[in-house]
Amino acid sequence: MIEITNLNKSFNKHLVLDSINLHIAKNKIYAILGRSGSGKSTLLRCINLLEIPDSGHMKIRDLDIDFSNIHKNDMLKIRKNVGMVFQNYNLFANKTALQNITQSLITVHKYSKAKANEIGFEYLNIVGLSDKANHYPSMLSGGQQQRIGIARALAFNPEIILFDEPTSALDPELVDEVLNVIKIIKNKTMILVTHELNFARKIANEIIFMSDGKIIEQSTPEAFFNHPQTQRAKMFLSKFNNNVDYVI
C-alpha cells in the first residue's frame, strides 16, 4: 500500500535516514522503536513531507513520488492521504475542539460546514468527547487534547495515520485513555512511534527497529521481543523493559 525505497535524508551533512526501504501493508499497525536520535520522527515527517527527503521514492495510492523531484501538488495529495498525531497535540488554541477537527475538513477537503460538523461530532463521539465540542484546548486535559488530535487525524479518513509518541507528553495517569482510543481504531493503516513497549507489543502487527538512521530489524512483536536479532535491539530492550523475556 505504501512502498518506500531508498529514502535518504541528511541534516547538515549528517545522514539521519540511511537507505530506508519500507513496505507498509493496508490496515496493519507498525510500531517504530529505537533510541532517541535514531531517526524515528524524521522518518514519519518524511512520509507526510513535513521534511523533504534528499532522495528516494514513495508510492502511496496512485501517487508515485520521487523525493528528489517533488511536484507542487504532491504535498497537498500527501496531506489528504496521511494523517498525523503529534506528541504535543498541535491543536489550534483559538479554536474549539470541534473546530479543530472541522478546520481542515472545510479548508483542505472542501466539505460544507454542516457536513464537516456532522463528521466532527461523529469523531468526537468515537474518542468519547462529544460533551467537549465547544471547549477550547486550554480547557481540556492533555489526554483529552490528544484524543481531539486523534479525532482530527481520523476525521478525513486518510489512508494512513502516523503517530509520533502520542503519549509521551502526558502525565502517566492520562496515558491509558489515549492508548485506549488508539486501540479501538479499526481498519486503518497506522505507524506508531512510541516508547510504550508493552503497548507496541500488544497492538502492532510489525515492529520496526531503528538505529542510526537505519531500519535494522523488522519482525513480528513476538519475534522482536522474544528473539531480537541484533545487539542493539537486545540492549534497547534490556534498558526499557525488565519484564520482557527474551534470549540474549
Ligand X SMILES: Nc1ncnc2c1ncn2[C@@H]1O[C@H](COP(=O)(O)OP(=O)(O)OP(=O)(O)O)[C@@H](O)[C@H]1O
Q: Which of ligand X, Mg ion, none does residue 34 bind (CB under 5 to 8 Å by kind)?
A: ligand X
38 binds Mg ion (CB under 5 A): no
Q: Rank residues 39 and 149 by Cβ distance to ligand X and give the closer one.
A: 39
Q: Which of Mg ion, ligand X, none does residue 221 bind (CB under 5 to 8 Å by kind)?
A: none
Instruction: In whole angstroms, give the CA distance from residue 2 to residue 82.
Output: 11
The answer to whether the CB of 196 falls within 8 A of the CB of 179 is yes
Helix and strand numbers, DSSP H then E, in the chain: 9, 10
Task: Provide CB contacts within 8 A for 72, sequence distance 6+.
Answer: none
194 binds Mg ion (CB under 5 A): no
Q: Rank residues 111 and 236 by Cβ distance to ligand X and give the closer one.
A: 236
Q: Which of Mg ion, ligand X, none does residue 101 bind (CB under 5 to 8 Å by kind)?
A: none
81 binds ligand X (CB under 6 A): no
* Binder of Mg ion out of 41, 81, 100, 146 (CB under 5 A): 41
Residues between 89 and 118 with contacts to Mg ion, criterion CB under 5 A? none
Up-side HSE of residue 31: CA atoms within 13 Å toward CB? 25
36 binds ligand X (CB under 6 A): yes
Q: Which of ligand X, Mg ion, none does residue 39 bind (CB under 5 to 8 Å by kind)?
A: ligand X
Sign of the C-alpha dihedral computed for residues 113, 158, 186 and 191 taken in this order? negative
Instruction: In whole angstroms, give the CA distance from residue 54 to residue 4.
Output: 13
> Helix, strand, coil proportions of the chain in percent (round to 5)?
40, 25, 35
37 binds ligand X (CB under 6 A): yes
38 binds ligand X (CB under 6 A): yes
232 binds ligand X (CB under 6 A): no
Binding site for ligand X (CB under 6 A): 11, 16, 34, 36-42
